[in-house]
C-alpha cells in the first residue's frame, strides 16, 4: 500500500477510500511542515496552516488535474495558505517576503554562529536559518523536496529566472562564508 504513487492514492480516495488519504499526509507532512516552520517562524502556526492545507487539498481533490504533479499542486496550496496567514497577522510580511532584488548580508550573523558551531555543516545549516524567507524557501523546495527549478517556480509563483537568481545567490553567500573560514580545505 505504501508503494502506491500519488495518483494511485488520489484515485483510491476518489473511489471512496477516504482513509487512504492518510498515506498522502504521511508522505508530505514533514517536508511541508519544514517549509511552514521556516515561513511562519512558529511551530503552532505551522501545524495549524498545514492541517488547513491538507483539508483544502482533500476538499479540492476532485478538481486536481493529473497533468500536474500532486506535490507541486499541494505545495502551492501550502505556500498560499501560509501567505494568507502572514497577511492576516500582518507580521513582518513586507520585510520577510520582500523583492528578490533586496540586499541581504549574512555577515552580520557570522561571528555569533561561527563561535557556536563546530563544523562546516552546523555552520551552514544555521546560516540557512538566517537567509531571507524566499531564499530559504527556494533552498528547501530544491534540496529537501527535490523539486526542479520549474516546479519551484510554479509553487512560489516566480519566474524561472528569479528562482535561479535566488538559488544562486544563496549558494554564493554560503560559499563565501565557507571560504572566509577556510572550511573548504577540509574537503577531500
Q: Which is nearer to another protein, 32 or 86 (CB)?
A: 32
Nearer to another protein, 19 or 99 (CB): 19
CB of 55 to another protein, least distance (A): 6
Residues in Cβ contact with 2 at an 8 Å cutoff, skipping those fewer than 6 apart: 23
Residue with cell 504513487: 5
CB of 10 to another protein, least distance (A): 14
CB of 98 vs another protein, minimal distance in Å: 22
Query: Using CA atoms in the order 86, 92, 96, 97, what is the torsion angle rounded to 10 degrees?
Result: 50
C-alpha 92/C-alpha 31 separation (Å) is 23
Q: Please list, residue by residue across 77-107, b when 16 or more beta carbons sit within 10 angstroms of its beta carbon and e when fewer do.
A: bbbebbbebbeeeeeeeeeebeebeeeeebe
Name which of 94 and 185 has its Cβ closer to another protein: 185
Return the C-alpha cell found at 64. 486536481
Q: Closest distance between another protein and the C-beta of residue 53, in Å?
A: 10
CB of 96 to another protein, least distance (A): 18
CA dihedral 177, 179, 182, 187 (to 10 degrees): 110
Q: CB-wise, 25 or 83, nearer to another protein?
A: 25
Neighbours of 175 (CB within 10 A): 13
Which residue number, 55 or 68, has a Cβ lying nearer to another protein?
A: 55
Residues that bind another protein (CB under 8 A): 18-19, 21-22, 25-26, 29-34, 37, 43, 47, 50-51, 54-55, 58, 120-121, 124-125, 128, 139-140, 143-144, 164, 167-168, 171-172, 174-176, 178-179, 183-185, 187
Amino acid at each position: 500500500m505504501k508503494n502506491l504513487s500519488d495518483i494511485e492514492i488520489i484515485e483510491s480516495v476518489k473511489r471512496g477510500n477516504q482513509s487512504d488519504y492518510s498515506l498522502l499526509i504521511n508522505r508530505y507532512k514533514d517536508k511541508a511542515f519544514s517549509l511552514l516552520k521556516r515561513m511562519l517562524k512558529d511551530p503552532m502556526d505551522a501545524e495549524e496552516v498545514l492541517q488547513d492545507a491538507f483539508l483544502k487539498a482533500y476538499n479540492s481533490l476532485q478538481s486536481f488535474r493529473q497533468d500536474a504533479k500532486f506535490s507541486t499542486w499541494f505545495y502551492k496550496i501550502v505556500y498560499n495558505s501560509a501567505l494568507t496567514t502572514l497577511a492576516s497577522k500582518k507580521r513582518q510580511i513586507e520585510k520577510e517576503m520582500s523583492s528578490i532584488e533586496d540586499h541581504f548580508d549574512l555577515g552580520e550573523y557570522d561571528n555569533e554562529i561561527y563561535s557556536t558551531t563546530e563544523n562546516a555543516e552546523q555552520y551552514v545549516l544555521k546560516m540557512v536559518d538566517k537567509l531571507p524567507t524566499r531564499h530559504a524557501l527556494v533552498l528547501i523546495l530544491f534540496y529537501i523536496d527535490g523539486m526542479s527549478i520549474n516546479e519551484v517556480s510554479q509553487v512560489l509563483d516566480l519566474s524561472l529566472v528569479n528562482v535561479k537568481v535566488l538559488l544562486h545567490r544563496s549558494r554564493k553567500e554560503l560559499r563565501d562564508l565557507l571560504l572566509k573560514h577556510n572550511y573548504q580545505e577540509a574537503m577531500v
